[in-house]
A and B are shown apart, each in its own frame.
Chain A
Amino acid sequence: MSAPAVITGLLDFRRLDLLATGDSALHRLDARAKVLVTLVFIVCTMSFHRYAVASLIPFFVFPLAVVTAARLPIAFLLRKVALVLPVALVIGLPNPWFDREVLVQLGGLQISGGWISLLSIVLRSLLAAAAAIALVAVTGFPAICGALERMGMPRSLAVQLLFLYRYLAVLGEEAVRMTVAREQRGGGRPLSIRHYGTLVGRLLLRTWDRAERIYLAMCARGFTGDFRSGPPSRLGRPDIAYVAGWCGLFLLLRTHDVTQWLGTAALGVLR
């Protein structure tokens, strides 16, 4: 990655992180409720058969509703979500090649199973990415860690995640400074592996020293092995309603083909 790309990545990370400081009814919900709803959403959408296209579409209502209700910047989040498309296309594109059985006939147009499953993979990728990013944007990373810990994740991993989160931007900035400095002095020459070893090794040693300083600072402040946060939040009536409402809808959409039903109804009205 060149320096501008690294900087953009870092700025995006910060911006997404800051979205969680917003204030809306969704932001105030218990993080466990939001994590649970996201997990149910992902299991429901990803459990469709490989040719599911129409039945996946109603599920977009969830990320859209969350983003709108929490007053999040839609354009920015769409850009983040769209980043998964290249990967989905790379792995989905062989499908039309290997799977040529015609499944859909629209007039003279024959569509093979491969194209349908490719479309399904693209929709799945978008749904999964939208759900994950919407979760971070309305919940915030520390709250998600807290929720996961209360749902059974070992403490050591929770502490590890919070540490990583706190120092991500700090070390990311060091990487940016090193990249910029090297690009300015290197006259556009690519970074060879040997020099990469020196550069990253130097960064590693700086990280090591930083860890030592952090440790001493923590000792001075009486660190006992976990991060202190406020009193744990409790699941209230809005949280339960949120979980019940969304999970009910997901199960309905999963077990009943609402798209088909709507289509038939619409055709019936037209006729």
Chain B
Amino acid sequence: MHMADALLSPAVGGTMWAATAVTVAYCSRRLRHEADDRRVPLMGVLGAFLFAAQMINFSIPGTGSSGHLGGGLLLAILLGPHAAFLVMASVLIVQALFFADGGLLALGCNIFNLGFFPAFIGYPLYQRLAGEAPGTARAGVAAVIGAVLSLQLGAFAVVLQTVASGISALPLGTFLAFMLPIHLAIGIVEGVVTAAVISFVRAARPGVLPTAVRSGHAVHGMASAFLVVALVLGGVGAWFASKNPDGLEWSVARVTGARELESPQTGIEAALGRLQQRTAILPGYGFRHETARAAEKNEAPNGITNSWGSDRLGKSLAGVVGGSITLALALLVGFALKLRSRWR
């Protein structure tokens, strides 16, 4: 589920870098406050452990195929969300550099999609559902639900980032219909595997797993999780409701066979476009001038030029909108978590 550089526009990639940087800064500040020297080597070796565990494949029953562990939820259960997020970030950085998995521009997306959701949404849900001293079955159900939620949100974020970037021609609906069911299956397997590892560890050496779960912790964790889900849904709703031709509608127009998409020359959309063209750092597009000329003559140029022009406009607009939503989300969650730590 790695996001790839090739599918990403710098606007979306940069925004996700910013969101990830904020979360990294927040997590490392939290860890500095709860100084625990023992955790430094533990986090490091657990990162290496995750690599090793991902190398070992298991067979998925009934399909004949094999899979490997994602590990975000497992790390959060072992280390708590803040440390788990940093470990996940480090694993993804090494993967991006040594194995060219994803890439450097997509690093922000990948750390957010695979690190943030399990640590700050899947894990609080798991904690809430599993309770203090869960039996094997209960912990298993909780792990499956936590992993499914994390992976669904992660897959959803991959789709949003791809569509907002506008490099892939996959329309939102098709891409979602493809990604969400697959990641439902992957999430169930991930949850079952996480539960299998946890139940072994609990039986073999109970001391390893953190036991003291304060109920207040879980309640506020849940509150912030629901907040995030609500905001994501709200953001998507707004996206669908939007009348502006963004990257999404552009793709839809493509699919439905509309040959041309009128690029509005008046109103806020055009103003934003002009502002964006004026402030573009790299105004290197030949057809930018053609679009401007067409606007002067108040007639559409040939179909290709027009769709390219609106593509570019829609791409940046969609990127800014989608990116800002996710950034706002990250900040909000950080803020909520901060408030929570103050209340304690």
How many residue pairs bridge A and B at CB < 8 Å?
Answer: 299
Closest to B166 in A: A50
Kindly specify which of B119-127, B167-175, B328-336 makes contact with the partner chain. B167-175
Count chain B CB atoms within 10 A of each CB in A122, A198, A257 and give the residue with the most: A198
Determine the distance from Cα of A120 to Cα of B86 in the docked complex, in whole angstroms: 33
- Among candidates B28, B37, B58, B100, residue contacting A81 with C-beta atoms closer than 8 Å: B100
Chain B, 1-45, CB within 8 A of any chain A CB: 2, 4-10, 13-14, 24-25, 28-29, 31-32, 37-38, 40-45
Question: Which residues of the partner chain B approach A215 to less than 8 Å between Cβ atoms?
Answer: 37-38, 40-42
Q: Select the stretch in B189-197, B216-224, B237-245, B290-298 that faces chain A.
A: B189-197
Q: Which of B4, B25, B201, B307 has a CB less than 8 Å from the CB of A91?
A: B4
Cβ of B339 within 8 Å of any chain A Cβ, yes or no, is no
- Interface size of A by CB at 8 A reads 103
Within 8 A of B (CB), among A53-102: 80-81, 83-84, 87-88, 91-92, 94-95, 98-99, 101
**Which chain A residue shows the least CB distance to B194?**
A197
Interface residues of A in 99-123 (CB under 8 A from B): 99, 101, 103, 113-114, 117, 120-122
Shortest CB–CB separation between residue A192 and chain B, in angstroms? 6
CA distance A47 to B283 in the complex (A): 11
> With an 8 A cutoff between CB atoms, is B205 at the interface?
yes
How many residues in B have their beta carbons less than 8 Å from beta carbons of A? 94
B-facing mask of A36-51, CB < 8 A → 1, else 0?
A: 0011001110110111
Which of chain A's residues have a CB closer than 8 A to the CB of B66?
A: 190-191
Query: A132 contacts B103, CB within 8 Å?
Result: yes
Docked complex Cα distance between A88 and B61 (Å): 28
Tell me, yes or no, whether B308 is within 8 Å of chain A by CB. yes
A174 within 8 A of B: yes
Are B49 and A191 touching (Cβ within 8 A)? no
Task: Find A175's partner among B37, B38, B52, B171 (CB 8 Å cutoff).
Answer: B52
Contact B4 A208 (CB under 8 A): no
Least CB separation from A45: chain B residue: B5
Q: Which residues of A contact B254 (CB under 8 A)?
A: 98-99, 101
Across the interface, do B28 and A124 meet the contact criterion of CB distance under 8 Å? no
Q: Is the CB of A191 within 8 A of B57?
A: yes
Tell me whether A191 and B56 are in contact (CB under 8 A). yes
- Cβ–Cβ contact A193 & B58, under 8 A: yes
Q: Are A46 and B8 in contact (CB under 8 A)?
A: yes
Chain A nearest CB: distance from B302 CB in Å?
11
CA of A48 to CA of B41 in the docked complex: distance in angstroms? Answer: 42
Q: Is the CB of A125 within 8 A of B98?
A: no
A147, CB-defined interface residue at 8 Å: no
Q: Say how far B219's CB is from chain A's closest CB, in angstroms.
A: 28
Give the distance to chain A from B203, nearest Cβ to Cβ, in Å. Answer: 9
Q: A197-239: which have CB < 8 Å to B?
A: 197-205, 207-208, 210-212, 214-215, 218-219, 223, 225
B45 near A211 (CB under 8 angstroms)?
yes
Interface contact B58-A196, CB-CB below 8 Å: yes
> Chain B binding site: helix, strand, loop or mixed by DSSP?
helix
Chain A residues contacting B162 (CB-CB under 8 Å) are 91
Contact code string B81-101 (vs A, CB < 8 Å = 1, else 0): 000001101110110111110
CA distance A254 to B67 in the complex (A): 41
* A103-B304, A124-B6, A191-B56 given; A94·B168 CB < 8 A: yes
* Residue of A124, A166, A197, A254 most packed against chain B (CB within 10 A): A197
Cα-based distance from A129 to B5 in the complex (angstroms): 9
When the two chains form their complex, are residues A204 and B201 in contact, meaning their CB atoms are under 8 A apart?
Answer: yes
Contact residues in A for B205 (Cβ distance below 8 Å): 205, 208
Tell me whether B104 and A171 are in contact (CB under 8 A).
no
CB-defined contacts of B303 to chain A, threshold 8 Å: 101
Contact partners of B189 in chain A: CB under 8 A: 193
Asked whether any CB of chain A lies closer than 8 Å to the CB of B53, the reply is yes
Residues of chain A contacted by B53 (CB below 8 angstroms): 175, 200, 203-204
B248 interfacial contact with A, CB 8 Å: no
B interface list, Cβ under 8 A from A: 2, 4-10, 13-14, 24-25, 28-29, 31-32, 37-38, 40-49, 51-53, 55-61, 66, 68-69, 78, 86-87, 89-91, 93-94, 96-100, 103-105, 162, 166-171, 174, 189, 192-193, 195-201, 204-205, 208, 251, 254-255, 259, 282-286, 303-304, 307-308, 311-312, 315
Binding site for B on A (CB under 8 A): 1-2, 6, 9, 13, 16-17, 38-39, 42-44, 46-47, 49-51, 80-81, 83-84, 87-88, 91-92, 94-95, 98-99, 101, 103, 113-114, 117, 120-122, 124-125, 128-129, 131-133, 135-136, 141, 144, 153-157, 159-168, 170-172, 174-176, 178-179, 190-205, 207-208, 210-212, 214-215, 218-219, 223, 225, 251, 254-257
Give me 20 A-to-B residue pairs in the complex whose CB atoms sit less than 8 angstroms apart, sorted by A's number.
Answer: A1-B68, A50-B169, A83-B100, A155-B28, A160-B86, A161-B94, A163-B44, A167-B44, A175-B53, A175-B55, A190-B66, A191-B56, A197-B200, A201-B201, A204-B208, A207-B45, A207-B48, A211-B41, A214-B41, A215-B40
